[in-house]
Amino acid sequence: MSRSDSNNDNKASGRGQGTFRKKSYSRGNSPIKKNTEVRKPSNPNILRLNRYVANSGVCSRREADIFIAAGSVTVNGKPITEMGYKVQLTDEVRFDGRLLNPIKKEYILLNKPKDFAISSKDGSGHRTALGLISNASKAKLLPVGKMDKSATGLLLFTNDGELTARLNSPKNGLRKIYQVELTKPLKSTDLKRIKEGIEVEESIVRVQDISYVENAPKNQIGIEIFSTRNNIVRRIFEQLEYEVVKLDLVVYAGLTKKDLPRGHWRPLTEQEVINLGMIK
């Protein structure tokens, strides 16, 4: 056989040099197909019904599924039992006849530093407490109550208007404990006057307790009070001609500064929200 004939046989059998072998995809070597499908952004105005109910604060999503299956939830007057049903924010959703609000309620506790205004309404360009919690939530949160720029300590922010109204109501005297520093020592006679009740602007203010801070100079005072009157602690001491140089709220309605450094914030725990919700 000639060399040319041999080369022709090799080419025919696919064994010659430079021959092309068809690539096999039997071992998982198939080319990866790119996913060219573009995901459409979700519509923030459309929610699953169980999420809508959960955001309203009635229950968890899992519990909401149970209530939906039981027919306890209506949309625009019609009972809905379908799992995965979607509603719009403009729909009227009721749970056992109660109208629901789908905006998730959020609660942020801040340990406010000194020289921070609690809001930006003064337009002065000063640093604000709202700025410190700007990354805490996308919701519009407002402070509960008032606090001087020079004061420090616990400040609660929330978008729960109903809770804010209850906490600010004069009839709901919330337990507050302040640590106060004066420019001069507090006389024992004045401490006794405050403990027995002192008149501020023609109204008697009664404190739950007042004492000198242990192992500290007598210009440092601890005071427990249930009054909701604005700036009342500072005004008590001013009534007796003492100047307050430090006013730190360390306990507010059962909330404390434990593990919360100055200038830091944290969301309330589920139990803390439940406890505040029990205030009527």
C-alpha distances out from residue 77 to 91, 96, 98, 231, Å: 10, 11, 12, 48
Asked whether residue 276 is assigned to any structural domain, the reply reads yes
Asked whether residue 2 is assigned to any structural domain, the reply reads no
Quick one: 91 and 187 in the same domain? no
Quick one: 217 and 243 in the same domain? yes
Q: Tell me, what CATH number does 153's domain have? A: 3.30.70.580
Quick one: 233 and 199 in the same domain? yes
Q: How close are the terminal C-alpha atoms of the chain, in Å?
A: 108
What is the reported pLDDT for 38? 54
Quick one: 134 and 243 in the same domain? no
Quick one: 118 and 76 in the same domain? no
Residue type, 203: S
pLDDT higher than 80, residue 54? yes
**What band does 32 get if pLDDT is binned at 50, 70 and 90?**
low
Per-residue pLDDT tens over the stretch 136-180 = 988 889 999 889 999 999 999 999 888 898 898 877 778 999 999
Q: What distance in Å separates the CA atoms of residue 53 and residue 97, rounded to the nearest whole number?
A: 13
Tokens describing residue 232: 């009342």
What is the reported pLDDT for 27? 52
Domain coverage including residue 210: 175-252
Tokens describing residue 250: 């360390």
pLDDT higher than 90, residue 279? no
Q: What distance in Å separates the CA atoms of residue 240 and residue 196, rounded to the nearest whole number?
A: 14
**Where is pLDDT greater, at 164 or 7?**
164
Q: What distance in Å separates the CA atoms of residue 183 and residue 227, rounded to the nearest whole number?
A: 24
Quick one: 146 and 182 in the same domain? no
Phi-psi group of 76: left, alpha or beta (phi > 0 → left; psi -120 to 50 → alpha; rest → beta) = left
**Where is pLDDT greater, at 148 or 8?**
148
Quick one: 84 and 63 in the same domain? yes
Across 14-18, 44-48, 203-207, least confident range: 14-18
Q: What distance in Å separates the CA atoms of residue 52 and residue 68, rounded to the nearest whole number?
A: 11
Q: Are 133 and 110 in contact (CB under 8 A)?
A: yes
Q: Are 79 and 98 in contact (CB under 8 A)?
A: no
Read off the pLDDT of each residue in 91-116 and give the average, rounded to a whole number. 92
Mean pLDDT of the chain: 85
What pTM does this model have?
0.70
Look at the chain and report how many structural domains it folds into.
3
Q: Are 209 and 179 in contact (CB under 8 A)?
A: no
Asked whether residue 3 is assigned to any structural domain, the reply reads no
